[in-house]
A and B are shown apart, each in its own frame.
Chain A
């Protein structure tokens, strides 16, 4: 699980082009949107594509993303429970 959380943080920093932010700067319970990491609606779509591409998880209802993408912990929990690829 820790490896997955590390992987998610690295993806977010690299793919969402977060400048001057390191893996150590993102806490597992930190809010990813709003006042937390400040991700926006396009970032949310990018995360939905990432779930599909990297873990074989298709979100049929984008509204599900609100709970899933709340933090690194919620993302890791959801991926662990629903992933179809290793």
Chain B
């Protein structure tokens, strides 16, 4: 019989709100995303100057992961055995569009290196891995819609094959100002919520 894994904790960032395990930590629906995420970062006392150089998708993923991992008392100074399995619909489209704007006019062709480096969705995994010294397995999948079954299956395999002790899973999507969402959760041997499709979908839709 296969081991039943658990969800230890989860974090949401969407529509101007940041919550951890269902508890609102910061909310301001009046601000555009750039101001909201900066204010949420400061409210959470997240000291990481490279945050301000990240693209919107990485800011979204990084802050959600940081809030969740800090709550788990993860020490960023020690190497961690936590795998990452992320997914979304828009890939890095928001940044891809910005890059396109810098190269579409051949008479004004100045691609920005700082924008170009974020034209892949899995760069956000790198940002989290650098901060938390994660040298573990990681994957980023593109789906038409949230796919709880895939995340459950993939995290179960990683844990049962001893590829990692815990798996940071979820959905982090940034299309434009009005369409963004991060839902990350940590899967491990112990926790209060079953790591099954029904529970994952329930948490996603909170």
Interface residues in chain A, defined as those with a beta carbon under 8 Å from any beta carbon in chain B: 15-19, 38, 42-43, 45-46, 49, 52-53
Contacts and interface: CB of A to CB of B under 8 A. Distances in A.
Interface of B: 49, 51-53, 110-114, 117
A18 B113 CA distance: 16
A64 B193 CA distance: 57
Listed from nearest, the 6 A-B pairs whose CB atoms lie closest are: A45-B113, A19-B52, A17-B52, A53-B110, A17-B53, A46-B114
Nearest to B49: A19
The prevalent SS among residues of B at the interface is: helix
B52 A18 contact: yes
Contacts of B117: 42
Nearest to B53: A17
A49 B52 contact: no
Contacts of B52: 17-19
Contacts of B110: 49, 52-53
Nearest to A53: B110
A16 B49 contact: no
A19 B112 CA distance: 19
A16 B113 contact: no
A40 B51 CA distance: 13
A49 B108 CA distance: 12
Contact of A43 (B49, B111, B114): B114
